[in-house]
Structures are given as structure tokens and as C-alpha cells.
Amino acid sequence: MTIANSGISQTRSFTTVFLIEMWERFGFYGMQVLMVTYMMKKLGFVDTRANLVWGAATALIYATPAIGGWIGDKLLGTRRTMLMGAVVLAIGYALLWMPTDDEHFLYIALGVIIVGNGMFKPNAGNLVRKIYEGDDTRIDSAFTIYYMAVNIGSMISMTLTPWIRDYVGARYGNSAGWHTAFGACSIGLLVGMVNYALMRRTLWHIGSPTDEKPVNRLHLAGVLAGALCVIFATMLVLQSLLVARVCVYVAGAIVLGIFLHLIRASHRDERAGLIAALILTLQIIFFFIFYQQMSTSLNLFAQHNVNLDFRLFGWHLFTWIPEQYQNLNAIWIVVLSPVLVFLYNWLGRSGKDLAIAAKFAWGFGAVAAGFFIYGVGANSALDGQVSSWIMVWGYGLYSLGELLVSGLGLAMIARYVPERMGGFMMGAYFVAVGLSQYLGSVVANIAHIPENLRNPVESLAIYTSLFNKLGFAGIACTLIAIAMLPLMKKLSLSHAAGVAKR
């Protein structure tokens, strides 16, 4: 049954997915904002190890959706798999709530989170795709609003969890503070699932054909057994950085091979769209190297070299906890998303909509400018500390770039990939993102701060050197994206002609 004859509007269906995604991201980013500093301050990791362990975990978090999308399409159903993922994620955050600072227990909890994310992420995105399928202009707008849902949830949690950690830690001990903050992530997901239960009827007509059939118990048992294997494999990977590196690069080669195989084996009318999706996915890989700096080098930069007081004309406004500066990304995205949605719709109505490849080029330019602002901020630093406002404006440009690239990544898959490959290709896209997140952690380690270095002026020079290099890398990515525009235009026209034939 289609949306048009179901009696349920696209907006109501979209709102249901929007809200559970918002709460899921509340949990994830509430955990992410603390994880690197938790490993350093509670488990005794040096910054390079914490960055790489989190990079490997992030790579796996984004790799498992390739399997989760297939499970949703073929085995359990898109809606069911998404809900199962939310339940598993809530369990993973609840494990971090438990009062133990054992390194191996952390790996178990991260393994559960990785499984849950793999089930949830591609299927939630695929539901949005199905709601707006066939309407290219509204798909771009819908995924931009969907991306805003991510950042509403993360904006709240990235403000809340560091504050909970400090507030509870001051009263009941440092360890209690960390674990209570992680527990808030689990509670957020429980709220999201209750909300979904109340609104689930708006999605009964959206999903894969498997959603309309009874659950196959053999398939369910196989999925649960596979989930346990992934958890144990995660423990092995996270304990050995060499194994993690090999797994990430093998996964990248597999994703590239899958894309090339699908392009070769696809129908002639589908080939141009898949080639376009491959080119844009490669660009997204470069973007997420920049993105990973938020939880690694930019996070640690705030710990070492940012004046935490916000002042305006000499007046003290408020003081932030270092981890809360990551929240600037979410705040800017919530502010900028409605502006871009209005712009996309206006351009669409006037027949002047920018090609998605052109939006990517603008996005890389904004990211480059953002990193140069961090680098330039060093020139006005006092005693090795830059103003909080430098972080505000740097994150603003960085976030604009994110909306133009990452925010349209799922829309790109929805636009160029045939429906029969939708869930799987959503998953393959996330594997590519995971690969780049690990590479981003490797890049972040260029700004390693030796343990015996206490001089903020020296650490400032180390960090700003990295940020300036990233700025120049952003310019290179912008020029490459611009150079690819004629080819992308040709592929898009061929894709549109193929769709019209089908």
C-alpha cells in the first residue's frame, strides 16, 4: 500500500522515524562526547591509544549497518530490525552504567552498542527513503530535517552528560559520575521506544515485504547468534590496534569491491546512478576524516587550549565543560537545517535546485574555512588559550559543511540507488563512513601531546599545525569536487533517463 492511499500523511510517518532517531542519537552522542576522555582519565589510556580505540569502535559502529540493512530487507523486516536495534542499544548503554572501570567490560559494552547501531541505523534511514521515494527535491529536504533530528538529540545529550558526570561525581565520587552519565543515554533510548510504541501505527504501511510476514524463528535465531559473534569479535579487535587496522582496511576493500560488482552486474539503465553514488561516497569518506576530529583532536584541544569562559564585551556569560564544546556542532546544525531546507525547497520550486555534487563542493569549502579559523585563532591566544568564540565560529563553518556533505549522504543513496538495493547500499555507505572515521583518528594522532608536556603554548602549536593542514586538505577536496561536477552532471542525466525508461 502506498502512502497516498493509506490515509496517513508523509509528515506523520516521517515524524515517527524522526523522533525515535532523535532519541537514539541522544544516547549515542551522550556516550561519544565522554568516551575518549573516559578512556584517558579513568582507564589510563594515552591520547593516541584512546583516539585509535575509539576510531576502531566507530569504524565498527558504522560497518555493521551493511549487515543490518540486509537483515531488515531480507530476514526480519525494516521496522522490526530498527526496533530491535534500539533495544540492543539501550542494553549497551545500560552496561556502561554499571559501576566498573574494567577495560574488558568496556569492550563488551561497545560490542553490544555496535550490534544495536548496525540494526538500527540503516533501517531508520531506509524508512525515510521509502516515505519520500520518487520525490528528489523532498528527499533532500526530508534527509536534511532527519539530520536535524540527529542533532537535536545530540545537542541535548552532549550538554547533559558532561554536566551529569561532574554534578554526580562531585557528590558521590568520580566513578559514579561517569557511569551515571552513561546511564542517562540508556534512559533516553527507553523514552524513544515508548514514544515509538505510541506512534507505530503511522508506519504500518511503510517497510520491506518481510515486515508483512510473521517472524521467521530460524532467521531470528541466526541473527541473535550472529550478534553474539560480533560482540566477541569486537572485543578482539579493540584489544589489538593491529587487528583493528587490518579489519578496517579489509572492510574498505570489500565495500569498494561491492560497489564495483554492483556497477558491473547492474542493468544498463541503473549503472550511471551507481557510478554517481560511488563517486560521492568516496568524497564522503574524505569528509568523515574531518568529522572524526570532533571527538578526538578538537575535543582534546578544548581540554588543553581553550578558555572555557564565554565573555561578551568583557561580561562573563557562562562557562562550559571541555567536552561540551562538541555540542556546538549540534547547535549549529539545528540552527542551519531549517535555513537549508527553505533554500532547497525554494530552489526546487524555481527550477534552480543545485546538484547534490555541487552541494558537496560547497560543503568541503566550508569545512576548510572552519579549520583555518581554529588555526588563525592561535594568533590571538593568551597564555596558550584561544577564546571560546573561536570554537563557536569554527564549528559553525564545519557544521555547514557537514550539512552539505554528510547531511545529504543518505539522500544521495536514496536518489541514485535502485530500491531493491536500498537497505544494503545504506549499509555499505555506513561501512565507508566507518573506514573514514578510523582514518580520522589516525590523522588526529598527528597532534599527539606527550604526557610530560604541560606548557599550553607548546600544545597550542601542535594542535593548530594539524588544523591548518586539515584546512589545506579541505581546499584540495573542494577543488577535486569542483573538477568532478561535469562528470556528475552527465551521470545524473543518464540516471534520470534510465529511471524514466523503467
Residue 3 domain-assigned (yes or no): no
Task: Establish if 383 belongs to a structural domain.
Answer: yes
The pLDDT score that the predictor gives to residue 494 is 74
Higher pLDDT, 377 or 369: 369
Residues 37 and 218: beta-carbon distance below 8 Å = no
In a domain, 5, yes or no: no
Would residue 93 count as lying in a domain?
yes
Q: Which domain holds residue 389?
A: 10-501
Q: How far is CA 372 from the centre of its chain?
A: 23
- How far apart CA 56 and CA 315 sit, in angstroms, is 42
Task: Select, from the ranges 198-202, 224-228, 279-283, 356-360, the one with the highest average predicted confidence (pLDDT).
Answer: 224-228
End-to-end CA distance of the chain: 20
pLDDT for 478 equals 93
> Lowest-pLDDT range, 70-79, 374-383, 416-425?
416-425
pLDDT at residue number 137: 59
List the one residue out of 110, 118, 16 whose CA is nearest residue 72. 118
> pLDDT for 128-139, tens place per residue?
777 776 666 566
Instruction: Please report whether residue 1 resides in a domain.
Output: no
Residue 318 burial by Cβ neighbours in a 10 Å radius (0-12, 13-18, 19+): exposed
pLDDT band at 80 (very low <50, low <70, confident <90, very high): confident
Grid-cell match 552513561, residue found: 182
The model's confidence at residue 417, banded by pLDDT at 50, 70 and 90, is confident
* Best mean pLDDT range from 40-44, 78-82, 149-153, 313-317: 40-44
* CATH number where 252 lies: 1.20.1250.20
What pLDDT does residue 196 have? 86
Q: What is the reported pLDDT for 404? A: 86
Q: How many domains does the chain have?
A: 1
Residue at 344 is within a domain: yes
Q: What does the alpha-carbon distance between residue 162 and residue 30 come to, in Å, rounded to a whole number?
A: 8
Q: Which residue has the higher pLDDT, 66 or 439?
A: 439
pLDDT of 382 above 50:
yes
Spatial separation of the C-alpha atoms in residues 184 and 152, rounded to whole Å = 16
- Cell 534500539 belongs to which residue? 86
Instruction: Express each pLDDT in 352-365 by its tens digit.
Output: 777 778 888 899 99
2 in a domain, yes or no?
Answer: no
- Rounded to whole angstroms, what are the CA distances from 219 to 78, 214, 215, 365? 14, 11, 8, 46
Cα-to-chain-centroid distance, residue 157: 15
Phi, psi of 424 (to 5 degrees): -65, -45
Decide if 87 contacts 193 (C-beta within 8 A). Answer: yes
Q: Is residue 4 part of a domain?
A: no
- Give me the helix-helix angle, 136-172 and 327-349, nearest 10°: 170
CA atoms within 13 A of residue 46's CA, in its CB half-sphere:
10
